[in-house]
Amino acid sequence: MLDPKLLPITRALLDIPARLLIKLGVTADQVTVAGFVVGLLAVPLLALEYYTFALILILLNRLADGLDGAVARRTQLTDAGGYIDIVLDFIFYSAVVFGFLLASPEQNAVAAGVLLVTFMGTGATFLAFASVAGKQGIENPSYPNKSLHYMGGVTEGFETILAFVAFCLWPQQFAMLAYVFAALCWITAITRIVAGYRTLKKGAANSV
């Protein structure tokens, strides 16, 4: 929801470290993979209930997720880079939730399961639309530099980061927080389904 408004700010802030990485010979894909590995290290920390340390790694992962795009824009944007970026993002999101499940299976299992199903809903609506939108040549002015057509919603990247921060700060309330975030994610998924269907239906009619 807030991503389009925050995008110009984050891009300006990340441009300086991105230039430094380029001077060091670091590629965008290397930043993507390194950030993913760092993010996955949060899972055992969550399982062991070292929530503060896990949060640091989660935030580093999100920083890398912004930096890889900044590096790519200053060097070369590629479909391969965009592909690996979004795939690893979705794996990371699910892995964080799995970490909370491991921390307290008795209390968190059902809520974590609900949230994982929810992530499947938001991810599927986004990726399925992106594939067909690319085929039809549908433009996305809100995210002109994205490799895939990005559908917005109530819960986007910034809101997901806030949710993960809240999970780590108040782990005892994970179940309640997960249910609330899942409900917001389903609003996103449903609006994407409706908007995506209408857009593709209109596109098909105009092409006839």
Give the domain ranges of the chain. Answer: 3-207
Q: How far apart are CA 43 and CA 172, in angstroms?
A: 17
CATH of span 3-207: 1.20.120.1760
pLDDT at 145 over 90: no
The region of weakest confidence among 120-124, 145-149, 194-198 is 145-149
Q: Please state, rounded to an integer, the average pLDDT across all residues of the chain.
A: 87
Q: How far apart are CA 100 and CA 168, in angstroms?
A: 9
Helix axes 28-40, 51-74, angle to 10 degrees: 170
More confident residue, 125 or 49: 49
pLDDT at 59 over 90: yes
pLDDT of residue 206: 62
Q: Say what the pTM is.
A: 0.85
Asked if 83 contacts 68 with a C-beta cutoff of 8 angstroms, the reply is no
Torsion of CA 4, 179, 125, 195, to 10 degrees: -70
**Residue 67's Cα: distance from chain center in Å?**
14
pLDDT of residue 9: 78
Quickly tell me which residue has 């979004």 as its tokens.
Answer: 86
Mean pLDDT of 45-51: 98
pLDDT at 162 over 80: yes
Q: How far apart are CA 147 and CA 111, in angstroms?
A: 32
More confident residue, 201 or 91: 91
Asked if 109 contacts 174 with a C-beta cutoff of 8 angstroms, the reply is no
pLDDT of residue 42: 98
Q: Which DSSP state fits 147?
A: S
Helix axes 3-23, 157-169, angle to 10 degrees: 90
Q: Is 43 helix (H, G, I), strand (E, B) or coil?
A: helix
Q: Is 41 helix (H, G, I), strand (E, B) or coil?
A: coil
What the block records as the tokens of 58 is 């989660």
